[in-house]
């Protein structure tokens, strides 16, 4: 999968009356991010910009048109506009508003976003991909629940303080808080997926807890995937998917990690030989144990023991 924010012909747009805002004019040199608070804002005609824009409404209401679809934005709402997206804002002149704004270039999240199209091969794509999907307009109006509303408001207030004070290393703090904000919003626009994940987690919680406990109690014994599938009464494919989701590792990796960890603890006991440790942790073959141990730790079991004794 790849993500891509569509470029547009700026000269053609501006010639047709669309206003174009450029990050080079709107942001500080060397900092592809901007924070502000609005207590007064005139209506904005159809416009676009080369950066992401986030508006959180702390007070007031207005109409927000995105790609010809109109949204009634109210207190407690937030929206995320991707680069080069046509939108407009209609605000009543006597409307009492308070808006926290955040604008940033994709490169502020990760410099590799400067290259387009962007391959989904690196982790930071997850921060932005949910706000670039054309098949959904969920990001154009996100209504926050009361708890999330307070959290989002506090994060944006902290970001604004960092931006305005500009104390040493404020850029690092600003980026860290932006990533927190994006992760919160990604969960908000994927509420159904979260609910499904929670229901699935609760459904298999008892089974997977029993499986993990069994591994920890019997790691020194011969153990294979089929045994655990029988214990959990799950098919091999279903078990593998659930186990990876539950532990973050495959069964073989989880078991090996556990055995190596136990071996490291046992090697600190001088009365146990390396061979004793090997068989006590379920490896059952000394040469294999030594090879895997060195692969994991970078040193042999004997050298590890020498260092541990020091």
Question: Same domain, yes or no, for 148 and 81?
Answer: yes
Q: What is the mean pLDDT of residues 63-75?
A: 92
- Residue 75 is predicted with a pLDDT of 95
Q: Pairing state of beta strands 19-21 and 44-49?
A: parallel
Query: In this predicted model, which residue has the larger pLDDT, 68 or 118?
Result: 68
121-125, 174-178, 207-211, range with greatest mean pLDDT: 174-178
Residue 194 maps to a domain: no
- Residue 2 is predicted with a pLDDT of 44
Whether 8 shows a pLDDT value over 70: the answer reads no
Its pTM surpasses 0.75: no
Structure tokens at 63: 């109409």
* CA separation for the pair 223, 259 (Å, rounded): 12
Residue 198 maps to a domain: no
* CA separation for the pair 232, 248 (Å, rounded): 18
Residue 257 maps to a domain: yes
Domain boundary among 156, 189, 222: 189
Residue 67 pLDDT level (bands cut at 50, 70, 90): confident
Domain boundary among 131, 165, 189: 189
* CA separation for the pair 242, 304 (Å, rounded): 35
Structure tokens at 290: 């030594």
Structure tokens at 174: 């600003």
* CA separation for the pair 36, 42 (Å, rounded): 15
pLDDT in tens, 267-278: 999 899 999 999
Q: Which residues pair with 3 in a beta bridge?
A: 118
- Residue 277 is predicted with a pLDDT of 94
* CA separation for the pair 129, 121 (Å, rounded): 12
Domain containing residue 239: CATH number: 1.10.10.60
Residue 1 pLDDT level (bands cut at 50, 70, 90): very low
Whether 304 shows a pLDDT value over 70: the answer reads yes
- Residue 140 is predicted with a pLDDT of 87
Whether 98 shows a pLDDT value over 90: the answer reads yes
Mean pLDDT, rounded, of the chain: 87
Domain interval for residue 174: 2-189
Whether 100 shows a pLDDT value over 80: the answer reads yes
Question: Same domain, yes or no, for 181 and 270?
Answer: no
Query: In this predicted model, which residue has the larger pLDDT, 19 or 120?
Result: 19
Residue 107 pLDDT level (bands cut at 50, 70, 90): very high
Residue 41 maps to a domain: yes
Q: What is the mean pLDDT of residues 202-223?
A: 88
Domain containing residue 30: CATH number: 2.60.120.280
pLDDT in tens, 113-161: 876 555 556 778 888 888 876 655 668 888 898 889 999 999 999 999 9
- Residue 294 is predicted with a pLDDT of 94
Domain boundary among 166, 189, 212: 189
Residue 89 pLDDT level (bands cut at 50, 70, 90): very high
Whether 195 shows a pLDDT value over 80: the answer reads no
């Amino acid at each position: 999968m790849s993500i891509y924010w569509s470029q547009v012909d700026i000269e053609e747009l501006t010639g047709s009356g669309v206003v174009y805002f450029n990050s080079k004019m709107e942001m500080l040199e060397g900092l592809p991010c901007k924070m502000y608070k609005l207590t007064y804002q005139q209506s904005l005609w159809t416009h676009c910009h080369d950066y992401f824009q986030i508006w959180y409404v702390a007070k007031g209401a207005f109409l927000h048109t995105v790609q010809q679809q109109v949204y009634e934005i109210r207190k407690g709402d937030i929206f995320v506009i991707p680069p080069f997206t046509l939108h407009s804002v209609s605000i009543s002149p006597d409307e009492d508003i308070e808006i926290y704004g955040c604008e940033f270039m994709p490169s502020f999240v990760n410099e590799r976003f400067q290259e387009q199209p962007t391959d989904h091969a690196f982790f930071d794509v997850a921060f932005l991909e949910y706000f670039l999907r054309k098949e959904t307009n969920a990001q154009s109006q996100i209504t926050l629940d009361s708890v999330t509303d307070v959290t989002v408001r506090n994060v944006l207030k902290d970001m604004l303080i960092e931006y305005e004070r500009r104390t040493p290393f404020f850029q690092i703090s600003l980026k860290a808080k932006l990533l927190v904000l994006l992760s919160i919003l990604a969960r908000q626009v994927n509420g159904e997926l979260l609910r499904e994940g929670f229901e699935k987690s609760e459904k298999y919680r008892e089974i997977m807890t029993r499986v993990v406990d069994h591994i920890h109690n019997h790691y020194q014994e011969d153990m294979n995937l089929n045994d655990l599938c029988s214990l959990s009464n799950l098919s091999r494919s279903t078990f593998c998917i659930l186990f990876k989701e539950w532990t973050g590792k495959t069964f073989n990796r989880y078991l090996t990690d556990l055995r190596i960890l136990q071996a490291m603890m046992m090697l600190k006991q001088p009365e146990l030989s390396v061979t004793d440790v090997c068989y006590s942790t379920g490896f059952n073959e000394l040469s294999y144990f030594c090879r895997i141990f060195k692969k994991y730790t970078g040193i042999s079991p004997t050298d590890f023991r020498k260092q541990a004794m020091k």
